[in-house]
Amino acid sequence: MNNLQLSRSNLNRFAHWGPFLSIVIYKFITLTTLYFTELWWPCFGSLGGFLNNALFLTLFVISFSCYLKSVIAGPGFLPLKWKPINLEEDEQYLQFCRICDGYKAPRVHHCHKCNRCVLKMDHHCPWLNTCVGYSNHPSFVIFIFISIIASIQSSILLLKTLLLVLAQYGHRVLIYFPLKLTLLWITAFGLAVCLILTLSLLLYIQLKYVLKNCTNIEDWIVGKAISRREQDPSLPPFIYPYNLGPINNIKTFFSKGDGIHWPVREECGEYDLTIEQLEQKLIKESWKQPMKVIKNYNGRWFPLVFGLCVCCQIPWTDETRMPLNIGDVIQVTRFRKYWMYGHKNLSNGTRLRGWFPKQCVETLSTSSKKDK
């Protein structure tokens, strides 16, 4: 893929509800805040008004630039058909991706939405319409941090506007506040407060990962590794290889390498995490339960035909929903009260994964007894 095709592919990420809605919300809050502030603290009316607007717009430009960079730069993808330099020695420690037709380097995971193996994948973000990974993770964290500061300033300015409006009743009217402006203020203030709460929680989670030099996926792997050793004390202890100490972790987070080779602790090896992944994958394979589809499912998020309980307790995740046809055989790997997660093998050699209602399937042993 040449540079022109690559740039077009990156720009196509904006043709999605996530980036579109993000830009609309961000611009709406910014312009509405500037409008209401101008009513009582005009930009060119005083030095304070000018500095306030300059700070607010500066925060907006920085955060919006980081957002655009996160979307356009993307997470960084492992080259298709990638192989380690020492293939014969290292392939036993690495997973093989059938879709990308290559081995997965350490800290690489395949994203089924991007349909590529992602370097240091943290998670797939629908608001970016791409993954957060090696290339865009620093700009993503900066975007969250600056956006929180800008949202706090916006909410304070909007709240000050409301206090001035309430204080003028019974006195000389300084700010005209009809119903339309009231609704506009409520919407902008509500969105600003929601951004502060949600982004603060997200920033807290991301900073924990930065200080440990891990990702959301790797934190999940480490948690399962610890759980395995609690259940079986005979297993050797697992040490997360990329935790180099808070200062070095921050340096590594903002440093630029190739996204494939990473420094590890002295007592750890390059493939310690991938070896643990392979062992966990073997356990997961042993947990698979084959089931037969007895009811069709069209892949909708709210399948009313299966009842209100199924619709009200959907898995709150951006993972796909898998359409089912009667007679399909599904390998189920995750179970919930009303939903299941699994995969089915397609004729072209690939796998289709996703969630589906529990009512759609039954175990093969049960179905075979009914057939008899």
Query: Residue 258: helix, strand or coil by DSSP?
Result: coil
Among candidate residues 125, 131, 214, 360, the one labeled active-site is: 125
**Which pair of tokens denotes residue 319?**
């993972």
- Residue 297 DSSP code: B
**125 is a catalytic site residue:** yes
Query: Residue 251: helix, strand or coil by DSSP?
Result: helix
How large is the angle between the packed helices 137-167 and 179-212, nearest 10 degrees?
150
If one counts every other C-beta atom within 10 angstroms of the C-beta of residue 305, the result is 13
**Which pair of tokens denotes residue 168?**
């003028």
d(CA 20, CA 209): 28
d(CA 245, CA 239): 13
d(CA 358, CA 362): 8
Q: Which helix (H) or strand (E) holds 20?
A: helix 17-40
Closest to 138 (Cα-Cα) out of 249, 236, 41: 249
> 101: exposed, middle or buried (C-beta count within 10 Å: 0-12, 13-18, 19+)?
exposed
69 backbone dihedrals φ, ψ, rounded to 5° = -65, -40
Question: So which residues are the catalytic ones?
Answer: 125
